[in-house]
């Protein structure tokens, strides 16, 4: 997945189709000049439908889509013939996509499975033909019901990445480097903050041909839940991760403090994030000797931790083991 092609937010004005009008047709044949009403019902208007596609990783294909309108239902006709239904609009989205009404911010639904369908806007019902309105006192009604109008709304599509492991850390903590080493992902890497401007996904190979998905989330800074730095836009991706892997570099002034700042940002954004399994990885540990390592261990938070170095390939196998056990709910 190209970094420049990652799109996780689009807004589209949608309108479902109008229902077709019912027919006010009266039966007229050569030997039946005054037949009764035989007007058929109008067809149903097309729906606006969101569909899950596991082959998609981004909303890029919708980036330039501004308006979508489903077809109207066709009119009813004689011989009680119902009009054809309007064609639905199918909007394919990656798994983990949520749809919201722009005006009310109400959530319309989310897609988590391949092939899952969710009707966002229902098409209008077709009108009833005059055949429905005949009575003993009005045996030839010359009126029929109009179709219902469709519904229109500006809909926001937000993608929340579905990954097993989400990397959490300040900018330049080594998240992109770790992802590039343990997977085939090729994120941009440089020695300055906010190199990662979009989430990156990588498939991490494990023993016996197993694997899990790791997501590199753009760096958090203190105050991110208030919109500082890259702000709230990327915090939502962490909500879908099964495990949170905190990365704090070994040369940090206070690893424990940095960890709790990150944890607080997640808590302020969504307290439920604290219920997720957490692992702390002290990155860039190739610069540590045994004495420094033991000194750092005295002040680490009480979560499973490991010292790693992506460049020196230190502790990476053990880190994968920790992640795999956590994903499969095995105690450390």
> Range with the lowest mean pLDDT among 36-40, 57-61, 125-129, 186-190?
186-190
pLDDT at 20 over 70: yes
Location of structure tokens 């261990």: 297
What's the pLDDT band for 30 if we cut at 50, 70, 90?
low
Percent residues over pLDDT 70 in the chain = 86
Q: Which residues pair with 67 in a beta bridge?
A: 13
Strand 152-159: give its sheet, edge to edge: 67-69, 9-15, 152-159, 97-101, 107-111
Predicted confidence band of residue 225 (pLDDT cuts 50, 70, 90): very low
Q: Which residue matches tokens 């590199």?
A: 216
pLDDT category, 148, cuts 50, 70, 90?
very high
Which domains, from first to last, does the chain contain? 1-159 (2.70.210.12), 165-327 (3.40.50.300)
Residue from 49, 27, 48 nearest 39 by CA: 27
Mean pLDDT score, 259-265: 89
pLDDT at residue 13 in the model: 98
Model pTM greater than 0.95?
no
Query: Residue 91's closest CA among 122, 125, 151, 47?
Result: 47
Chain segment 43-56, per-residue pLDDT in tens? 999 999 999 998 88
Ordered strands of the 117-121 beta sheet: 89-93, 48-52, 117-121
Q: In terms of pLDDT, which residue wins out, 215 or 132?
A: 132
What confidence score (pLDDT) does residue 1 get? 42
Q: Would strands 107-111 and 97-101 be described as parallel, antiparallel, or unpaired?
A: antiparallel
Task: Give 195's pLDDT tier (boundaries 50, 70, 90).
Answer: very low
Between 140 and 238, whose confidence is greater?
140
Instruction: Write a three-state SS string for the chain.
Output: CCHHHCCCEEEEEEECCCCCCCCCCECCECCECCCCECCCCCCCCCCEEEEECCCCCCCHHHCCCCEEECCCCCCCECCCECCCCCCCEEEEECCCEEEEECCCCCEEEEECCCCCEEEEECCCCCCCCHHHHCCCCCCCCCCCCCCCCCCEEEEEEEECCCCCEEEECCCCCCHHHHHHHHECCCCCCCCCCCCCCCCEEEEEECHHHCEEEEEECCCCCCCHHHCCCCHHHCHHHHCCCCEEEEEEECCCCCHHHHHHHHHHHHHHHCHHHHHCEEEEEEECHHHCCHHHHHHHHCCCCCCCEEECECCCCECHHHHHHHHHHHHCCCCC
- 65 versus 241: the higher-pLDDT residue is 65
- In this predicted structure, the answer to whether residue 264 has a pLDDT above a threshold of 70 is yes
Average pLDDT of the chain is 85
User: How far, in Å, CA of 47 to CA of 94, rounded?
Assistant: 20
Residue 171 scores a pLDDT above 90? no
Residue 233: band (very low, low, confident or very high) from pLDDT cuts 50, 70, 90: low
């Amino acid at each position: 997945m190209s970094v420049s092609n990652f799109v996780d937010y689009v807004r589209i004005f949608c309108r479902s189709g109008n229902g077709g009008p019912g027919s006010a047709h009266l039966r007229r044949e050569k030997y039946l000049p005054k037949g009764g009403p035989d007007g058929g019902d109008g067809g149903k208007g097309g729906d606006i439908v969101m569909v899950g596609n596991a082959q998609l990783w981004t909303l890029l294909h919708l980036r330039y889509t501004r308006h979508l309108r489903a077809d109207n239902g066709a009119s009813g006709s004689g011989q009680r013939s119902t009009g054809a239904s309007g064609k639905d609009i199918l909007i394919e989205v990656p798994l983990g996509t949520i749809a919201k009404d722009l005006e009310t911010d109400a959530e319309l639904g989310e897609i988590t499975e391949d092939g899952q369908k969710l009707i966002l806007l229902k098409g209008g019902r077709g009108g009833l033909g005059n055949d429905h309105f005949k009575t003993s006192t009005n045996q030839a009604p010359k009126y029929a019901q109009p179709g219902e109008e469709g519904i229109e709304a500006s809909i926001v599509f937000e993608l929340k990445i579905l990954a097993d492991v989400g990397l959490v850390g300040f900018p330049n903590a080594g998240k992109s480097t770790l992802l590039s080493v343990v997977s085939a992902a090729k994120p941009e890497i440089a020695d300055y903050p906010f190199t990662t401007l979009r989430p990156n996904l990588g498939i991490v190979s494990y023993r016996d041909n197993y694997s899990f998905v790791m997501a590199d989330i753009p760096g958090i800074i203190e105050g991110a839940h208030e919109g500082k730095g890259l702000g709230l836009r990327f915090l939502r991706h962490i909500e879908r991760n099964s495990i949170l892997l905190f990365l704090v570099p070994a040369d940090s002034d206070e690893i424990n403090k940095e960890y709790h700042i990150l944890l607080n940002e997640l808590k302020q954004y969504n307290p439920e994030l604290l219920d997720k399994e957490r692992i702390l990885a002290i990155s860039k540990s190739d610069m540590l000797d045994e004495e420094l390592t033991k000194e750092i261990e005295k002040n680490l938070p009480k979560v499973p931790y490991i010292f790693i170095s992506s460049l020196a390939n230190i502790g990476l196998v053990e880190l994968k083991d920790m992640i795999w056990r956590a994903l499969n709910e095995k105690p450390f």
